[in-house]
A and B are shown apart, each in its own frame.
Chain A
């Protein structure tokens, strides 16, 4: 009977260890609470206010800030300047108060820094001319043109697009930089994100200027992203490229109605899986000591935001292309999870009041007490782009 008692104990212990161990280590709760339209629009508005409150007289923004020491850490990145401008135009398009004016001041600074590059123009502040800053500036200007119906920047947009098209190799790869000394793109230099930023901008141009020949270069880059990029540029693990997702979403929405090719669709599915797995992991992170030990620190809002941007882009495809439709529910679930995490992690007015300079804190996202302007950019874009997802879920519930 002693042997039996021992075996009973071992059996009970094995059940306890399996379920307790799984909960403690493998299946931590994914903290994806419900999120409402009001919460999201409030969070977007707060982020928009952060940009308005922290914009310099010349149109640039506070780049990096330590709330504990109330220190402007300095530095600047013009790709992120373009990204913030673009994101603010997205916010303006959904009616965020003040976003248009803030974005326009950012645009004015960018347009003051356009340089001649061959037949086109590029946004650059130093000797180095990179594709990414021009790509996102152009994407932002297209956004502005679409919702204001103003064509005041059409010449600049065409010139920026000309520069970007000139950076595309026959394979569809986008060369990251242009050398003003040689008057040609720098060969063999590629960037993680400039490729997708450029193709997204050109995809938007193709829709707005259908007779100007932007569709073919866009498709060339999209095909390259879908079939070659990770291998050719030796990127492993594959890049969870939210800009590529923006591109695919834009192509899918073209009124020419071509839709995505099988390769592009397959790539969209791979991206969904990359974004989804990262969201599931990130949502298990909390600020507890145990979570820190087994899951690590919470990621930057910029990183989390890019996942939301990618997923919301793919959600649009899943709504219109039945080949991606089987993933629609999961994509929506992960996209909304990102939004709920971002809403939870944003610095509130109450939090901000505890610091020396509340207006540099409120509406921002911090990691280790530091925020960088692209935290607000990507978080804001992810949030506002989740609004149609929330709407679709509400319709389903009804």
Chain B
């Protein structure tokens, strides 16, 4: 697995432009920053335990890579054909950090699978860098991006994600 591909895949799979549209109801950057930190910790922990977890599940690194490409690819295809909707907010605003910021927006199953694959093959570094880029971009773009720009940026990110998915898939299949 190529390190640059892994980092770009992590960042692109988060699709910051789409996430900010889903989180448009959330007020201010605070919940996003805190939720982002929780998500980052989640991806970091996933990457850290990835080698022993995959070993325990009898999954080789290349097969984990194929699995990650599979789910990130499917998610990217879903995002091509679906419009993001602002997530409903809980009555207690302090819970915003957990819902909808951390779940379901920033800590996502497809990214967790990708963090597992990347973490096992390359260590936590690329996972943290890729996730940081995506999460920081999400915080930076939140409530600052015009709808039309967000839509275009999201589409471009999906194309990038699919390109990375193809690379991960081919590389995973053709690995020793």
Residues of A at the B interface (CB closer than 8 Å) are: 1, 3-4, 7-8, 10-11, 14-15, 18-19, 22-23, 26-27, 29-32, 272-273, 275-277, 280, 284, 327, 330-331, 333-334
Contact = CB atoms under 8 A, between A and B. Distances in A.
A30 B109 contact: no
B109 A280 contact: no
B87 interface: yes
26 contacts: A4-B88, A4-B90, A4-B99, A7-B87, A7-B88, A7-B100, A10-B104, A11-B103, A11-B104, A14-B109, A18-B71, A18-B109, A18-B113, A19-B113, A22-B67, A22-B70, A26-B67, A29-B57, A29-B58, A30-B60, A273-B175, A277-B174, A277-B176, A280-B63, A327-B176, A330-B176
A244 B100 CA distance: 57
Given A19-B109, A30-B60, A280-B60, A334 B104 contact: no
Contacts of A27: 57, 59, 63-64, 66-67
B91 interface: yes
A30 B61 CA distance: 11
Nearest to B61: A330
A276 B99 CA distance: 43
Contacts of B60: 30, 280, 333
Contacts of A26: 63, 66-67, 70
A276 B59 contact: no
A276 B175 contact: yes
Given A22-B113, A29-B58, A277 B173 contact: yes
Interface in B139-176: 173-176
A334 B60 CA distance: 10
B31 interface: no
A273 B174 contact: yes
A1 B89 CA distance: 9
Interface string B108-149: 011001000000000000000000000000000000000000
A30 B63 contact: yes
Given A4-B88, A4-B99, A277 B71 contact: no
Contacts of B88: 3-4, 7
A275 B58 CA distance: 19
Greatest chain A CB density within 10 A among B62, B109, B110, B113 is at: B109
Contact of B71 (A3, A4, A22): A22
A30 B174 contact: no
Given A14-B104, A27-B57, A272-B176, A280 B87 contact: no
Interface string B71-110: 1000000000000000111110000000110011000011
B154 to A, nearest CB: 19
Nearest to A272: B176
Contact of A29 (B59, B66, B109, B110): B59
Nearest to B74: A18
A7 B104 contact: yes
A284 B63 CA distance: 10
A2 to B, nearest CB: 9
B71 A330 contact: no
Given A11-B103, A22-B67, A273 B176 contact: yes
Contacts of A273: 174-176
A280 B67 contact: no
A178 to B, nearest CB: 37
B87 to A, nearest CB: 6
Contacts of A19: 109, 113
A1 B176 contact: no
B66 A276 contact: no
B109 A277 contact: no
Contacts of A284: 63
B106 to A, nearest CB: 12
Contact of B62 (A18, A275, A280): A280
A76 B110 CA distance: 53
Interface in B38-69: 57-60, 62-64, 66-67
A333 B176 CA distance: 9
B59 A30 contact: yes
Contacts of B89: 4
B176 A15 contact: no
B161 to A, nearest CB: 16
A334 B176 contact: yes
Contacts of B113: 18-19, 22
Contacts of A327: 176
B175 A277 contact: yes
Contacts of A3: 88
A15 B109 contact: yes
Given A19-B109, A30-B60, A276 B176 contact: yes
Contacts of B91: 1
B62 A30 contact: no
A157 to B, nearest CB: 35
Given A4-B89, A29-B57, 5 more contacts: A1-B91, A18-B71, A22-B71, A26-B70, A27-B66
